[in-house]
Amino acid sequence: MFFSIDGLQLRYDPFPIGLVKPLMKPEIYTQLADNYPPQELFKSYDYLGKEGKKFTLSDRENPSEYYKFLRMKPVWKQFHEWITSDDFTYGVIETLRDHDVDLGFKYISPGRRIVKRIKALARGHLCPGAPRLKSRFDFSMMPADGGNQVPHTDATRKIVTLVVSMAREGEWDPAFGGGTDVNRPKSTRLSFNHVNRPAGFDEMEILDTYDYTPNQAVLFVKTFNSWHSVRPMTGTSSTTMRKTLTINIETLS
């Protein structure tokens, strides 16, 4: 196990979001941060036709480079195996349940699923089964010079997101910004946004900000109003990058 979220400090309004800090043992965090992938492996949001000033290395946008990197870095390969395991996925769901956020998902082993389907078919019923979950993660970076992610509520397939900081100690200047903002629309017309339409920064008020600091995770639940963003950063002429992991727990499509 690379980290635990047992120390999660959660707020519930306007949606469940909170912080785990410190997230990892220092030696584990340092090993991952020291082996973070180089920028040349990433694709920009501009190239991908997405809003915001950001770069990503993922199993969806650039899978060949993503999996090649994992094969070359044993620590990241092990991390990937753990994150994609049922132990991690349903462990997060259980921890949220312990914090009074019951998302209605419970682990059912493959064997039990087969038995349930056979019994249902024997009774002449179709049995699609309970929705299954999976976890995955992207490497993400935003430039201190203007990097941003516009207000959004996350894709409908997402259930829980963890944004894990990957900055080394002393690498990031807090004056640049880079925090994750908890937003609320100024107009009630934008309150319901299950389908994840993006909005402008000027359409939101900031309720809270989780500063970008090393060895932490900002965790939140996707809801119809889980508006969050990263305001344009102010590190003019800086080449520093805001490095993170975006871990997503999603429904299997």
Dihedrals phi, psi of 63, to nearest 5 degrees: -65, -35
Q: For the domain made up of 9-103+132-251, give the CATH fold.
A: Jelly Rolls (2.60.120)
User: Each residue of 178-208: pLDDT tens digit?
Assistant: 999 999 999 999 999 999 999 999 999 999 9
Q: Is the pLDDT of residue 116 over 80?
A: no
Looking at residue 234, what is its pLDDT? Answer: 97
- Model confidence at 125, in pLDDT bands (50, 70, 90)? low
CB 185 within 8 Å of CB 204: yes
- Model confidence at 117, in pLDDT bands (50, 70, 90)? low
Kindly report which listed range (72-81, 87-96, 99-108) carries the lowest average pLDDT score.
99-108
Cis peptide, bond prior to residue 63, ω within 30 of zero: no
Kindly report which listed range (22-26, 49-53, 156-160, 207-211) carries the lowest average pLDDT score.
49-53
Distance from C-alpha of 79 to C-alpha of 191, rounded to nearest angstrom: 36
Looking at residue 189, what is its pLDDT? Answer: 97
Mean pLDDT taken over the chain = 92
Give the alpha-carbon dihedral of 217, 220, 221, 224, to 10 degrees: -150
Give the alpha-carbon dihedral of 170, 176, 180, 182, to 10 degrees: 140
Q: Is 20 exposed, middle or buried (0-12, 13-18, 19+ CB in 10 A)?
A: buried
Secondary structure (DSSP) of 160-195: EEEEEE-PPTT-S-GGG--PEEEEEESSGGGS--TT
Residues near 179 by beta carbon (within 8 Å), at least 6 away in sequence: 209, 210, 211, 212, 230, 231
Query: Which amino acid, residue 207?
Result: L
Kindly report which listed range (88-97, 115-124, 169-178, 186-195) carries the lowest average pLDDT score.
115-124
